Amino acid sequence: MPDPSIDKINEELNTAKQVQLENVGALTRDQLTPEASANPQGHDVPGHDHAPTADTKPDAHAGHSHASGDDHDHGPAEASPYLWPGVSLVLLLSGLALDYFSEEVPFFTGAMRLAWYGIAFLLVGWKVIRSAIQSIPSGNVFNEFLLMSLATLGAFAIGEYPEGVAVMLFYTVGELFQDAAVNRAKRSIRALLEIQATEVTVVRGGQSLVLDPKQVQLGDTIEVKPGEKVALDGTLTQGPASFNTAALTGESAPQSKQTGDVVLAGMINQESLVQVLVTATYQDTKLAKILAMVQDAVGRKAKTQLFITKFAKTYTPIVVVLATLLLVVPYFVVDDYVFRTWLYRALVFLVISCPCALVVSIPLGYFGGIGAASRAGILLKGSNFLDVLREIDTVVMDKTGTLTQGVFAVQHVQPAPGIEPAQLLRLLGALEAKSTHPIAKAVVQHVGSAAANVSVENVEEIAGHGLRGRVEGRDVLAGNAKLLTKYGVAYPADVDQVVDSIVVAALDGQYAGYLTVADAPKADAQQTVRELRADGITKLVMLSGDKDSITQRVAKELGIDEAHGGLLPEDKARYVQQYLNEGRKLAFVGDGVNDAPVVALADVGIAMGGLGSDATIETADVVIQTDHPSKIATARRIARATHTVVWQNIWLAFGVKAVVLALGAGGLATMWEAVFADVGVALLAILNAVRIQRMKF
C-alpha cells in the first residue's frame, strides 16, 4: 500500500530555494507526527522573502516552484528542469552566431533581433521578474530578484540583448547546480523517511488486520514478516529473532532479540514471523522523534548564517544606492558624460553586487555538514551546534552506557545470615523489573523466571539511590549503600569496601545482603579519549553515579584526566557549572534520565541515542545513534570541515566581487565579467560546499 505522506514529503523536500537553504529538507510537523502543527515553516532570510499570491500556496516559493521528482520549473510550463534553459542557451548561441554573420543575414535586425533574444530571456527570466514584483507588497524590495531584473532589463534597454540573456541564463544554471547539490545533501534525510513502514498487520480478536500505523493502539499485537520493517516500538513477544538495525544505528551487523526485548520502528525482521506488543503510538516512536529532530535541525541557524543574513539585508539597498550614484554623479564631474556608458557601468555594478554566492553557499555548507553527520549516525539538532562543537575545549562524560557498555552481569550474590539466596534474588528481581537502569536489567536477567508472577506495588525510584517498594507484602529496598543510610538501615562495614558496582538490599528495615555486578568499557572508549586529545580537547572528565572506586578505576584504564563518582544529578550539574564558570566551552555526553539536566546545562549536550532515555535525547543538542562515543570526535571533524568550507566561500565571494566591482565602476569590466563575479563565483562556492558530502570522516 503506497504511503501518500512520502509523496507529500518528497514534494516538500523539492521546494529548495537558492537563497533559503537553511530550510532545505525541512519537513512540516504534520508529516512527522499527527498531532503536530500543520503550519509550514517560514522562510526568513531578509532580502529574499517570497510573498504568496492567489495562485501560490503559502509555503511555496514564488517564482521558483519545484515539481515532484526534483524538477525545477524555470519555464512557462511544467517540464524537465533542463528544457527551458537548454532552449534559451540554443537561442543565445544561435543569436550570437547571427550577430557575427549579420552581413549575410540582414533579416536579423530591429524587431526580429529583439524578439529572438526576448524569447531566450523570458524562458529563464520571467519568474525572477515575477518574484521581484511579488516581493514589493511585503516590503521586501531590495533582494537579488530586483538586482537581477534591473540589470538584465537595463541591458535590454540599451540594446545589450545577449548580455542580458546571458546573465539570467547563468543565474538559472546556477540554480540547477544548486538543486543537484541540495538533492545530494538531503539523501540521508530522504533515507530516514523511507524507513517508516507504511502498513502494519495487527492481530485483534484472532484476526489479522492490515492497518495504517497511525491507527494502531497501545497494547495491540502486531505481526512482522521476514523482510518487513517494524512499524512501531514494542516488546518482542515471540522470539528469538534477528533484526537489521542499520537504518537506525548505522550498524551493519544484525542484532539478535529474545522474547521480552525491545524492538524499535525502522528495524527490519530478517528471519521468521514474529509478534510485537506495541508500547508506543506512531507519533511517540523513536523513529518519529528522530525525524522531528531532523526537521528542527535545518531551522536553526549558525552564527555565521545569522551574520550573512543581516549583512545581506543591509548590503542589498546599499549597492542599489551606489549603482544609482554611479549613474548620476559622473554627470556633474565628467566632461564627456555619456548616459549609455554610465548606465552600462551601473548595470554591471548591480550584477556583480548580487550576494548569491554568500546566501547560497553558506547555508548549503551547513546543511552539508548536517547531512554528513547524519550519514555517520550523528543527528545535529541545528547547524549552530556545528559551530559550538568546533569551539569546545572540555568534554565531560557519563560512565555507564556512555563510555562503558551499560550491559551488566551479576558476578556475586552475598545474602545476609538467615536469608536464602533464592529468596533474595526473587524479591530483588521482582522489584528491579520496575526499573530501566542497566544494573536493574542485569539483576532481572540473572534472576530469570524465578521472579515471574511476584506481586509488586508502591514502587518508588529514588534518583541516585535506587528503588523502594512492597514485594509479596514486604518492604524492600534495593540500591546503593546511600539508600540504606537514607532509611536508617544498618549494614556491615565491609559493604563499603566492595569495589564493583553493588546492589544492597533491605527487607522490612533489616539488611538482607548484596549483589555485585560488573560492566566493561566500550570497544572504542580508549579510541575516543585518544582522538579527542589529538583533536585539541584540553580537559576530559568523567562524572558518574556509580561508586567512586569503580569510576576512578575506569578513568585510569581509559586515561581520563579527572573523574568523580557517587554523584547525584545535582552533583553532576554542580561540576559542570564549575567548569563553565572557569570559562570553558563544554560538551556533556550522557544517556540516562538523570543526565538530562546536565545535558541541558552544557554548551552542547550530546546523548547516546540507542540506549539513551527519551528525556535525555529530547534535551540534547546532538544525538549519537550508534552509541559509539568515538562519534564525538567524528562530529568535531565534521564541524571543523564545515567551518573551513564556509569561510573559504565567504573570502572567495568577497575577494572576487571587490576586484570586479572596482573594475566595473572604472569601466574595465563588462557584463560578461559581471556574470562570472556573480553566478560564476556562486557556482564555485556551491561546488566547494558539496565537498563536505564527499569527505571521509
Residue numbers annotated as active site: 398
CA 333 to chain centre: 56
d(CA 293, CA 693): 20
* CA dist., res. 507 & res. 487, Å (int): 12
Indicate the SS3 state at residue 504: strand
CB-count burial class (<10 Å; 0-12, 13-18, 19+) for 75: buried
Query: How far is Cα 201 from Cα 380, in angstroms, rounded to an integer?
Result: 33
CA–CA gap between residue 554 and residue 404 (Å, rounded): 9
SS3 at position 49: coil
Distance separating alpha carbons of residues 145 and 645, to the nearest angstrom: 26
C-alpha cell at 168: 539570467
Rounded-to-integer distance, Cα 243 and Cα 224, Å: 11
Q: DSSP string of 622-678?
A: EEETT--TTHHHHHHHHHHHHHHHHHHHHHHHHHHHHHHHHHHHTT---HHHHHIII
Question: How many CB atoms neighbour CB 454 within 10 A?
Answer: 15
Decide: helix, strand or coil at residue 202: strand
Opening angle at CA 470, ends 467 and 473, nearest 5: 160
Pairwise CA distance, residues 51 & 642, whole Å:
32
* Alpha-carbon gap, residue 530 to 519, rounded angstroms: 21
Buried b (16+ CB within 10 A) or exposed e, 661-679: bebbbeeebebbbbbbbbb
C-alpha cell at 265: 520502528
| Whether residue 34 has a cis bond before it, omega within 30° of 0 | no
Q: Measured between alpha carbons, how far is 347 from 675 in angstroms, rounded to an integer?
A: 11
Q: What is the DSSP letter of 229?
A: B
Q: Which helix (H) or strand (E) holds 149?
A: helix 144-157
* Cβ pair 230, 286 in contact under 8 A: no
Residue in 223, 222, 221, 227 with CA at minimum distance from that of residue 242: 227
Helix (H) or strand (E) holding 461: strand 456-462
